Every structure is written in structure tokens, then in C-alpha cells.
Amino acid sequence: MFKTKIPKSIPLDKLYDKCQNDLNLKTITNVDLSKVQLKSQYIERPGLSLSGYLEGFNPKKMYVFGEIEINYLQDLHPNIRFQRLQLLITQATPVIIIANDLNPLKEIKELCKRHKVALWHSSKSAVEVFSVVTKILSDAFAPVVSCHGTLVEAFGVGVLIQGDSSIGKSEAALGLIERGHRLVSDDVVTIKRKEENVLVGEGPELTRHLLEIRGIGIINVAHLFGAVCISRTKKIDLIVKLEEWDDNHFYDRVGLEDKYCDVLGVKIIYHILPVKPGRDVSLLLETIVLNHRLKEMGYNSAKEFNAKLLKTIAQRQENRKKTIETVKRIKT
Amino acid sequence: MKLLKELKLKNCSGLHIRPATEIVKMLQNVQSQVFFTYKDQTVNAKSIISLLFLSAEKDAMIEVSVEGEDAEKVMSLLVEAFELGFGET
């Protein structure tokens, strides 16, 4: 894994471009959005701040004015209205969104112009603005790490194949594609933490769907095998590290306990898969995935077998006891 | 041993397939781990696709990190190759 990047700010034009269509946005003030940096991923409604209560008010957040806010402001005396809005709209404010197709009050327009604050107008409801913007911002502010590996989707499970160069990651991916699974990215995988414990991987635009196979060269699997064998992003469920077979290393022979590795603070199940001629890596990867799915469904082959074994042993011990007691009884 | 150096990409077409192949060929049998960082993106220099992903242009300053027993030898090979523009002008 390479260095983790946590975006501290994003340019406002990026947000505008992403939500313009969904929210039917229009700009009211003439501000160069590429020069405004959004430093908070949270969006809020002004709420009580409009009444002059500013405890916990963060001027760096973006604010959405809905029907309630505008109605409340309209009920206020013009002087008080301007005074309250002055406290809210400052140079630090990145953007104000007026929802519900409402007319922005002239005081809001004036203050936004004065402080060069972006003022947007949306025909959608404040709740819709909230949900669309929150989704975009949580994605834009998510921690990201890039790593060397190959991300595939097999039986619906996202598997990140790691290992040294020339260990056979791309060949394993090719084998999986041939068996009807999907490639997300080869060699460079960008991992984003979405929500608390979900990791989503994707490939860079430039090298997306390319595989480099030694002896053949660079191939585009989307063109060779069709669109069915590619996927743009995938949640990472498993990490499998391919390693040269080492006779001195003791590999997991039973699979009773899962090993985990930490990626961006999320625990992901981790397997080490030794590679040597004759071992069909694609088949082994498929087996790991199927076994993982079985475990997710509550069936652990190794544990189930162990439980059965313990039961058999206990039964035998019981039988042995009974036999000894019977022999003793006969003797006496 | 870990060595870090900023090297300038001198060949006119930048880091395209041919120079990337030269780098990978050069690093094929070296022990050290080699990473290139450009525009905040770090990649494994032993992989062609990773190198191409950087899409580094002429005069780009690439941060080269070499870690391993043969780091010194590998770094000097890389410095020379960058200097010669990977055989391109």
C-alpha cells in the first residue's frame, strides 16, 4: 500500500459539475468556483442560527435554505433579517443553496455578492439537495490509497490479488475472466473508504481494462472478451497475496481462523496463496471466493468438520468409558 | 538500504510504452523494490502498466525510491538511463 491521501478540501466547481444536473442548479452570483475551496464535507440547514443562536455554528460549511428558513426570514423585520443573515453569510462561507425553487431574498443576494460567496438556486427540495450533496461530498472527502495489485470480481465477490511483480497476478486475472468473472483493474488499484467499513476499488481511467501478459504484451480485455467481463468499481471483500512457494513456510492447511489485514482502518480478510507450477491459481482463487461466500452464509467447512470430529471423539470416549465400566462390573 | 532521488525525464515523448519497457527490462532481475512517484501518484516501477498510468511528460521530475540490498547499483543504473533518455532523443 502506498501513502494514504485524505482530501482536506475540494474545489467548488467540482461539486457544481457533479450535482448540477441532478439538482437542476443555477448560479446567481458571479463567483469563480474553481478558486473557492470547500473545506467541510458536511452540509447543513441554518436552523436555529437564523434566530441569532450561533453556538456550534461553523461558517466553513455550506448551507441550504429551504421553505422554512425563507418563510421565517420573510416574517422578520428587514433590519433584523439583514442583521441575522450578516452573522451567517461571511467571507468564510463557501456556498449557499436556495432549494425548492424559492426566490433568494435580496439580503441574501446582497451579502453573497459583498463577500463573493457562491449562491446557487435549485428546483429540488432541501431534502433532495441534502442527499445528493452528502453523497457526492462523502465520496470526494473519502480517504484514498493506491496499491499495486489486481482487482477482480468473482462470483460477485471483490478480490484484490497482490504479490510481487511477475508472480502471476495478471495471468490469474486472465484465467478468471476466461471463466466468466470480471476485471476491475490490473496493476494499479485505487482504494477508497466509503462509509465506515466499506472499501471500494477502481482503476485509473488511462489503464482501465488493460492487462499486461508476459509474452503477449498489453491487451484490452474489454475488447477481447466483451463488456461482460469488466466492471468499473467493486467493493473489496478479500485480499489474496500470491507468493512464491517456500518449502520452509507453514501455509494455512485447515483454514479454521481467518487472517485480516488493515486497509484504511478497515479489516479485510487476507489469504496467502503459495504459487508453484501445477497449481491452477484461477481455480484456487475461485475456491477461496466460494468458501468465503459459504462462510458469509454461516457455514465454515473447517469449523463444521472440527465440530463433527469433536463430537465423534466425545462419543468414542463415552463408549470407551462404558466398555471399561462393563469390564470392571464383569470382573467383580 | 533505501535511496531517494528526483530524476528528470529527458526523452521528448515522455514516459510512453518504449521507455517504460526499458525500465521494466532493466529492473527485471534486481532485488530492490523500486517505486516512482509523480504528481502524488506512487507506482511500482517493475510494472509497465503502472508506469504508463503516470503519463509523465518530458521534463517531468520523477521521485525515484529504491529499497533493497542492491539499491546503490539500481539507482545508478536508473540515473544513467534517465540521463540518456532511454535511448531516445
- From chain A, the residues in CB contact with B43 under 8 A are 146, 148, 187-188
pLDDT at A176: 95
The confidence band for A150, taking pLDDT boundaries of 50, 70 and 90, is very high
Across A135-155, average pLDDT: 91
Helices and strands (H and E) in chain B: how many: 3, 4
**Is residue A253 predicted with pLDDT exceeding 80?**
no
Question: For residue range B41-64, what is the model confidence (pLDDT) as tens digits?
Answer: 899 999 888 898 898 999 999 999
pTM for this model (two decimals)? 0.77
For residue A248, CA distances in Å to A166, A168, A242, A281, B31 come to 21, 21, 16, 21, 20
Q: Would residue B8 show up in a list of annotated catalytic residues for this protein?
A: no
Output the pLDDT for position A1.
Answer: 64
Enclosing H/E stretch for A311: helix A301-331
Predicted complex ipTM: 0.70
Measured on CA atoms in the order A205, A209, A213, A215, is the torsion positive or negative?
negative
Which of A188, A206, A216 should we substitute to test contact with B (largest number of B Cβ atoms within 10 Å)?
A188
**Pairing between β-strand A118-121 and β-strand A95-98 as defined by DSSP bridges:** parallel
Cα separation, A94 vs A73, in Å, equals 21
B53 neighbourhood in chain A, CB within 8 Å: 187-188, 204, 206-207
Name the closest residue on chain A to residue B37, using Cα atoms: A2
- The confidence score (pLDDT) of residue A35 equals 85
Nearest-Cα residue of chain B relative to residue A5? B40
Please give the Cα distance from A33 to A26 (Å, whole number): 13
CA–CA distance from B52 to each of A96, A150, A208, B74 (Å)?
A: 41, 16, 11, 20
Asked if A161 and A24 touch (Cβ cutoff 8 Å), the reply is no
Residue A2, pLDDT > 70, answer: no
